[in-house]
């Protein structure tokens, strides 16, 4: 798959195709010279006197550690980067193959004729079950609670008419995320009927179809998942797992051990937002401690007490509101604006104000109360809890997030310059860059009498938090 080609095999491309695309992109722009492969950051420490980050890195090939310094540190690792086995008593005692869905053996897993246990019915579990059921002797799927399973979305290319495209552009579906909206009611009625039709089993309907709103937990499309639960080889066990033995799984249903030969955990990632490495910020602050109970950030990209440190997909960025890639691009563009100011204006450190972080989180918590995400569903949007703080979502639509990041609010930042420097030092010798570099000296003359002001930036009324 080369850059610019459109010969994808499906709307949801395989991992091999996606890898080939990224490799082609990297080769085209020569990115590998900027990347250290098989190197893992294990710690970062801010030095206030030097205004530098000291980053400790381990070479995974040799085991050696090295230290590098940086004026600015950006953590672009995202959130779904640290998979974990469930904290179930006895899990390490299991004698058969124990596999996590995010660490699938490179050369496959022998399942032919085996009794396989599958823990979890999130996005990974929904994909795994129908993919392996025909190979196993028996499949026991352990489900803690129901979930909304959507039909497959865009499995093949389709040519859309002009009318279709106009309808898509005019159809704002964000209303489904508001409690009690007609869009949510209609969607729930549709999904309820669809799942009943596919399950065709009153007992499974009772445990699989949730009481909470569609979208409270991540809505997952599933190909042949619901139908597979009726397969004679598939046994659905509903409830909490209390213990794992060397040979099987025990649940709270009082039915004893469910023997399995292989145990697959489709149990997700650590979604606490805490970095996988220690981050020691300014004035003795440690980010792991700051985010131990309730992560708080600024617009999903920065946190107080950590100067010159930014991140993508931080707390309360729109991970589940809509297309996430465009949100990452907006975050990076925002960072570039800060970096441009940093370089041009002789700034040594920048840090978001603590009161800006507090105000943003207060606004977010208030706004979230009337959304379906606040309903009592157990979701990684809330770090795996049913009633915790909503962390993995933005208080608004994805388009709303793009507008919020369009222009930095410089008043929310503290900028520090080297001692004795003048804030206007960047004005230099009085010559413009066009004059110095031989550029267009009449660039200000416009061929069209258009306004420099974006017409979409209208004055808006913002309701108070009260």
Identify the DSSP state of 93.
G
Q: Which of 398, 416, 434 is the last residue of a domain?
A: 416
Q: Which residue range is the domain that position 227 belongs to?
A: 91-265
Do residues 191 and 230 touch, judged by C-beta distance below 8 A?
Answer: no
Residue 233 maps to a domain = yes
- Asked whether residue 343 falls in the same domain as residue 206, the answer is no
Residue 26 maps to a domain = no
Residue 336 maps to a domain = yes
Q: How far lies 187's CA from each of 180, 190, 222, 263, 302, in Å?
A: 11, 5, 17, 35, 35
Between the two ends of the chain, the Cα-to-Cα distance in Å is 53
Strand partners, 257: 250
Q: Which of 248, 265, 314, 7 is nearest to 144 (CA)?
A: 265
**Per-residue model confidence (pLDDT) at position 11:** 75
Q: Which of 211, 205, 193 is nearest to 375 (CA)?
A: 211
422-431 contacts at long range (C-beta below 8 A, 24 or more positions apart): 423/345, 423/346, 425/345, 425/346, 426/344, 426/345, 426/346
Q: Regarding beta strands 257-259 and 248-251, do their DSSP bridges make them parallel or antiparallel, or are they unpaired?
A: antiparallel
Residue 121 maps to a domain = yes
- Asked whether residue 107 falls in the same domain as residue 249, the answer is yes
3-state DSSP call for residue 44?
strand
Beta strands in 109-240 (DSSP E): 115-119, 138-143, 149-150, 220-221, 234-238
Residue 15 maps to a domain = no
pTM: 0.89
Identify the DSSP state of 143.
E
Q: Which of 372, 391, 416 is the last residue of a domain?
A: 416
3-state DSSP call for residue 448?
coil
Q: Which of 242, 265, 288 is the last residue of a domain?
A: 265
- Asked whether residue 142 falls in the same domain as residue 289, the answer is no
pLDDT tens-place values along the chain, 466 residues long: 556 656 788 777 888 899 999 999 999 999 999 999 999 999 999 999 999 999 999 999 999 999 999 999 999 999 988 999 999 999 999 999 999 999 999 888 999 999 999 999 999 999 999 999 999 999 999 999 999 999 876 555 566 677 766 665 655 678 899 999 999 999 999 999 999 999 999 999 999 999 999 999 998 888 899 999 999 999 999 999 999 999 999 999 999 999 999 999 999 999 999 999 999 999 999 999 999 989 999 999 999 999 999 999 999 999 989 889 999 999 999 999 999 999 999 999 999 999 999 999 999 999 999 999 999 999 999 988 888 899 999 999 999 999 999 999 999 999 999 999 999 998 989 999 889 888 899 988 888 877 666 666 555 555 555 4
Residue 298 maps to a domain = yes
- Asked whether residue 73 falls in the same domain as residue 42, the answer is yes
- Asked whether residue 129 falls in the same domain as residue 234, the answer is yes
Q: Which of 148, 143, 224, 214 is nearest to 372 (CA)?
A: 214
- Asked whether residue 284 falls in the same domain as residue 406, the answer is yes
CATH number at residue 199: 3.50.50.60
Residue 20 maps to a domain = no
Name the token pair of 389: 């703080």
**Per-residue model confidence (pLDDT) at position 1:** 52
Residue 2 maps to a domain = no
Structural domain count of the chain: 2
- Asked whether residue 109 falls in the same domain as residue 250, the answer is yes
The H or E element spanning position 23 is: helix 15-29
- Asked whether residue 289 falls in the same domain as residue 351, the answer is yes
- Asked whether residue 370 falls in the same domain as residue 292, the answer is yes
Name the token pair of 10: 């499906």
- Asked whether residue 122 falls in the same domain as residue 232, the answer is yes
Residue whose structure tokens are 């390490």: 92
Q: Which of 425, 445, 424 is nearest to 434 (CA)?
A: 445
Q: How far lies 448's CA from each of 181, 315, 439, 452, in Å?
A: 44, 43, 21, 11
The secondary structure of 377-431 as a DSSP string is: --BGGGTTBSSS---SS-SS-HHHHHHHTSS--GGGEEEE--TT--TTGGGTTS-
- Asked whether residue 286 falls in the same domain as residue 258, the answer is no
**Per-residue model confidence (pLDDT) at position 462:** 54
- Asked whether residue 115 falls in the same domain as residue 255, the answer is yes
């Amino acid at each position: 798959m080369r850059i610019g080609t459109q010969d994808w095999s499906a709307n949801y491309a395989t991992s091999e195709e996606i890898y080939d695309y990224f490799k082609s992109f990297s080769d085209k722009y020569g990115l590998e010279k900027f990347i250290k492969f098989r190197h893992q950051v294990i710690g970062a420490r801010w030095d206030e006197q030097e205004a530098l980050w000291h980053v400790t890195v381990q070479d995974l090939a040799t085991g050696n550690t090295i230290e590098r310094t940086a004026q600015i540190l950006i953590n672009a690792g995202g959130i779904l980067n640290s998979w974990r086995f469930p904290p179930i008593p006895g899990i390490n005692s299991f004698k058969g193959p124990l596999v996590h869905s995010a660490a699938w053996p490179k050369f496959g897993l022998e399942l032919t004729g085996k009794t396989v246990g599958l823990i979890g019915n999130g996005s990974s579990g929904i994909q795994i079950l129908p993919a392996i059921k025909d190979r196993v002797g028996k499949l026991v799927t352990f489900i803690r609670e129901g979930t909304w399973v959507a039909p497959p979305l865009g499995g093949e290319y389709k040519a859309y008419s002009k009318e279709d495209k106009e309808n898509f552009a005019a159809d704002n579906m964000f209303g489904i995320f508001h409690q009690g909206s007609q869009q949510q009611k209609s969607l729930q009625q549709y999904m309820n009927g669809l799942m009943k039709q596919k399950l065709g089993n009153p007992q499974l309907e009772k445990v699989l179809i949730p009481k909470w709103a569609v979208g409270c937990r991540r809505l997952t499309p599933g190909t042949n998942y619901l139908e597979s639960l009726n397969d004679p080889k598939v046994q659905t066990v509903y409830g909490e797992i209390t213990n794992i033995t060397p040979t099987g799984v025990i649940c709270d249903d009082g039915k004893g051990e469910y023997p399995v030969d292989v145990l697959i955990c489709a149990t997700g990632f650590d979604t606490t937002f805490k970095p996988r490495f220690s981050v020691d910020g300014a004035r003795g602050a440690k980010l792991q401690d700051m985010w131990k109970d309730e992560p708080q950030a600024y617009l999903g990209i920065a946190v107080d007490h950590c100067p010159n440190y930014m991140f993508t997909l931080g707390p309360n960025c729109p991970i589940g509101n809509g297309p996430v890639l465009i949100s990452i691009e907006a975050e990076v563009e925002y960072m570039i604006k800060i970096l441009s100011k940093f370089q041009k204006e002789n700034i040594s450190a920048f840090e978001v104000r603590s009161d800006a972080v507090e105000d943003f989180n207060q606004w977010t918590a208030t706004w979230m109360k009337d959304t379906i995400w606040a309903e009592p569903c157990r979701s990684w949007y809330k770090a795996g809890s049913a009633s915790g703080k909503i962390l993995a979502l933005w208080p608004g639509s994805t388009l709303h997030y793009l507008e919020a990041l369009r222009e930095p609010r410089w008043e929310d930042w503290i900028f520090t310059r080297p001692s004795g420097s003048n804030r206007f030092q960047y004005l230099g010798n009085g010559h413009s860059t066009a004059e110095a570099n031989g550029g267009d000296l009449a660039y200000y003359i416009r061929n069209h009498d258009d306004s420099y002001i974006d017409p979409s930036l209208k004055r808006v009324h913002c309701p108070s938090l009260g």
